[in-house]
């Protein structure tokens, strides 16, 4: 993902954004959440995946 100099880095991604950022499908993402490989935070009813959790998953650390 390309970031402009004045753009604030994302702290969390929606499920849809996480799918786009990682090229993983929605079902695959939910499987990682169920296994505990990916953390999800709920703000009201909205599910958000913290950026550091997503980075750990794709880097193989999680």
**3-class secondary structure, 43:** strand
Q: pLDDT at position 4, please? A: 66
DSSP assignment letter at 9? P
Contact 38, 28 (CB under 8 A): no
Each residue's pLDDT tens digit, 5-57? 678 999 999 999 999 999 999 999 999 999 999 999 999 999 999 999 999 99
Indicate the pTM of the whole model: 0.81
For the chain, list the strands marked E by DSSP: 12-14, 41-43, 46-50
pLDDT confidence of 2, banded at 50, 70, 90?
low
Contact 12, 21 (CB under 8 A): no
């Amino acid at each position: 993902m390309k970031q402009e100099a004045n753009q604030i880095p994302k702290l969390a991604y929606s499920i849809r954004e996480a799918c786009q950022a990682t090229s993983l499908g929605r079902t695959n993402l939910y499987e990682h959440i169920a296994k505990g490989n990916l953390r999800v935070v709920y703000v009201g009813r909205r599910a958000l995946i913290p950026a550091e959790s997503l980075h750990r998953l794709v880097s193989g650390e999680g």
